[in-house]
Amino acid sequence: MTAVVVSGAGRVFDGGSGAGTVALTDVDLTVGEGELVSLIGPSGCGKSTLLRLIADLDAPTSGSVAVFGKTAERARKDQDYGIAFQQAGLLPWRSVRANVELPMQLRGAGGLSGRAERAARSAELLALVGLTDFADHRPHQLSGGMQQRVAIARALARSPRLLLMDEPFGALDEMTRERLQDELLRIRAATGAAVVFVTHSIAEAVYLSDRVVVMSPRPGRVVATLDVPLGGPADRVARGIGLREDPAYFERVSAVREVLHSGDAASDRVSS
Amino acid sequence: MSPSRRSSPPRRSSPPRRLSRSLAGTAGVLALAAAWEAYKALVPDDGWVLGEVRVLPRTTDVAMPHLWDMAARAAEPLTSAPDSPPLWLATLQGAGFTLGVSAVGWVVGVTFGLLVAVLMARFVPARAGLLPWVVLSQTVPLIAIAPLVKRWGAQLEIGTFDWQDWMSVAVIASYLAFFPVSVGALRGFTSPDAAADGVRLDLFRAYGVGWWTTFWRLRAPSSVPYLLPALRLAAANAVVGTVVAEVSTGLRGGLGRMIVEFGASASADPAKQWSPIAGAVLVGLAATGLVALVALGLRRYQSGDVA
């Protein structure tokens, strides 16, 4: 089963009088199970809007969105995805552990209602993101990068098969960012979850993705989809820094850059 | 990765800081006392008159008794009756009564204010409909409504429940106390909407939980930094409301009535009326202290915001 199928989706925001703003028009996107797809493009290209449609935080004005074969709304209510934003959005009055446990606590029906079960799961997740020693800290005592890792652990709390990420590393410095990219690849290898990843960094998109979807503004649309055949997440983690220096990696970065800069001209799917 | 900030919780008011703060408080009180006496010593008895207008008040012993005269008067008996308690004791009893009524008014006002705020946060039309009335309610002069409330209360008959006059005073106090709470709590409850990008609200929506769960887990805790100043204001309003309502309903037992009674005999016994005034200051301090205890209980929710 595919994780996400977006077909002919559009989103028009009412501008009060006359014609509205077209944020997104006629977008088709399919994300397979366990696949990592990046959405990249300049601001205003609708990449975040598209992610919000998949998350059912917003509804398309035309077309349809299906998540695991259900409507996006059903999938949201069934907690089929985990989500992380550019801002960690932790609750400052809760400890790191309690923040990770929040989704389990709110939706106990998923089988994690017991206090002991939750504690075991949050310990597991904090180990996964390397924050075991900070479980009892409060968010304001952590650096931005650490807060973002807590947010990722929280997104994984209910073991979703789909992870939606809206520029999760956008506010971090370059070194922290690269470390968290490796961490995301490792988490993906460990969980097998599909990921839709919004970014404005070409290097980040290529390094992480199986496929890069290039978008363009006015109106927001998909202009090209590029495959990134650099191996599965486990391979990439194993290669580590070597991958970032691989000519094949550079070649893909250049390809994405060319499509981004050629803008409207490249409307065909560019094969690898 | 190492933590960028210290890993132990920040310590609140270490002993030296607390000491310097209480020293500053004491210095402030002493400075006020010195200013009072200095003014009395320097300005002529008749004050300062420019043409027909008195620009500085009189400093006679009737208008401004010496502080030590006030203290001495407080130690003497309340009246010349043989079994009369000392004035300070009567004042403290009055202060206790006023504090009690204020506290009831505060609790009622805070409860009502929170309910109104929840209603306004939950239903946007309610916000548009209620908020102007909430603001308008505070423009009604207290002196005008106090006798009305007393009369309505006296007509109230609910089974064997007997409406007491002090309850009318508490209702009037709550009328002043609810206002800052409803406005502050509404701002607090809606603060997640205003937070950059509303990321926490998006998160709760993504969890597929309802309005009330979001309210208890997100909106209510987020409101605390807005709520605490409102609770302090409500406490001050409740005390002022109680004293004024005691005066205008003529309720016996509290400081308001004492201020009026002693003021009537001020020319014969000028130092006497300053005892209940000092008592009112004590009530205000006690009320602020009680709110500080509430704040202490909620300090988990006061910490700095995070991204």
- Chains A–B, number of C-beta pairs less than 8 Å apart: 91
pLDDT (average), residues A15-22: 72
Angle between helices B87-122 and B220-249 (to 10 degrees): 130
pLDDT recorded at residue B5: 43
Spatial neighbors of B82 by CB under 8 A, at least 6 apart, are none
Boundaries of every domain in chain A:
4-80+161-265, 92-159
Name the residue of chain A whose CA is nearest to B199's CA: A89
CATH number of B69-302: 1.10.3720.10
Q: Considering CB atoms only, which of B203, B304, B306 is closest to A147? A: B306
Chain A hits for B303, CB-CB cut-off 8 Å, are 92-93, 138, 140
* Closest approach of A255 to chain B, Cα-based (Å): 33
Cβ distance A141 to B6 less than 8 Å, yes or no, reads yes
* Closest approach of A58 to chain B, Cα-based (Å): 10
Token couple for B244: 């004024």
Name the residue of chain A whose CA is nearest to B219's CA: A91
pLDDT recorded at residue A66: 94
* Closest approach of A228 to chain B, Cα-based (Å): 30
Q: Is the pLDDT of residue A116 over 50?
A: yes
Amino acid at A31: V
Token couple for B214: 């979001």
pLDDT recorded at residue A95: 94
Chain A hits for B208, CB-CB cut-off 8 Å, are 76-79, 107
Q: Considering CB atoms only, which of B206, B208, B304 is closest to A140? A: B304
pLDDT recorded at residue B133: 86
Task: Report whether B217 contacts B204 (CB < 8 A).
Answer: yes
Cβ distance B202 to A85 less than 8 Å, yes or no, reads yes
Name the residue of chain A whose CA is nearest to B225's CA: A93
pLDDT recorded at residue B217: 94
d(CA A147, CA A144): 5
Name the residue of chain B whose CA is nearest to A56's CA: B206
Residues 136 through 165 of chain B touching chain A, CB cutoff 8 Å = none
pLDDT recorded at residue A6: 94
Chain A residues in contact with chain B using a Cβ-Cβ cutoff of 8 Å:
55, 57, 76-79, 81, 83, 85-93, 102-103, 106-107, 130, 134, 137-147, 171, 176, 179
Assess B210–A contact: CB distance below 8 Å, yes or no.
no
Task: Report whether A165 contacts A47 (CB < 8 A).
Answer: no
Q: Is the pLDDT of residue A109 over 60?
A: no
Assess B263–A contact: CB distance below 8 Å, yes or no.
no
Amino acid at A82: G
Name the residue of chain B whose CA is nearest to A140's CA: B306
Residues 177 through 206 of chain B touching chain A, CB cutoff 8 Å = 196-197, 199-200, 202-206
pLDDT recorded at residue B3: 44
Cβ distance B196 to A106 less than 8 Å, yes or no, reads no
Name the residue of chain B whose CA is nearest to A129's CA: B1
- Taking only the tens place, the pLDDT of each residue in A144-183 is 889 999 999 999 988 899 999 999 998 888 888 888 898 8
Cβ distance A85 to B3 less than 8 Å, yes or no, reads no
pLDDT recorded at residue B28: 92
Q: Is the pLDDT of residue A257 over 90?
A: yes
Task: Report whether A173 contacts A231 (CB < 8 A).
Answer: no
The 3-state DSSP class for residue B140 equals coil
Task: Report whether A65 contacts A120 (CB < 8 A).
Answer: no
Boundaries of every domain in chain B:
69-302
Q: Considering CB atoms only, which of B3, B197, B300 is closest to A141? A: B3
Amino acid at A43: S
Chain B hits for A85, CB-CB cut-off 8 Å, are 197, 199, 202-203
d(CA A218, CA B4): 41
pLDDT recorded at residue A134: 95
Spatial neighbors of A178 by CB under 8 A, at least 6 apart, are A244
d(CA A233, CA A239): 10
Rounded alpha-carbon distances, angstroms, from residue B189 to B121, B178, B200, B211: 7, 16, 13, 12
Q: What is the pLDDT along chain B (307 residues), one digit of tens a residue?
A: 444 444 444 445 566 777 888 899 899 999 999 999 999 888 888 888 888 888 888 888 888 889 998 988 888 888 877 788 899 999 999 999 999 999 999 999 999 999 999 999 999 888 888 888 888 888 888 778 888 888 888 887 777 777 888 999 999 999 999 999 999 999 999 999 876 668 999 999 999 899 999 999 999 999 999 999 999 999 999 999 999 999 988 888 899 999 988 888 888 888 888 999 999 999 999 999 999 999 999 988 886 554 4
| ipTM exceeding the 0.90 mark | no
CATH architecture, domain A4-80+161-265: 3-Layer(aba) Sandwich (3.40)
Rounded alpha-carbon distances, angstroms, from residue A246 to A200, A241, B33, B286: 21, 9, 80, 71
Residues 17 through 76 of chain B touching chain A, CB cutoff 8 Å = none
d(CA B224, CA B212): 17
pLDDT recorded at residue A239: 85
pTM of the predicted model as reported, rounded to 2 decimal places: 0.82
Assess B9–A contact: CB distance below 8 Å, yes or no.
yes
Spatial neighbors of B239 by CB under 8 A, at least 6 apart, are B98, B99, B102, B173, B280, B283, B284, B287
Name the residue of chain B whose CA is nearest to A149's CA: B1
Q: Closest by alpha carbon to A141, among A206, A200, A92?
A: A92
Let me know how long chain B is: 307
Cβ distance A143 to B4 less than 8 Å, yes or no, reads yes
Q: Closest by alpha carbon to A151, among B120, B288, B202, B26?
A: B202
Cβ distance A93 to B221 less than 8 Å, yes or no, reads yes
pLDDT (average), residues A194-204: 94
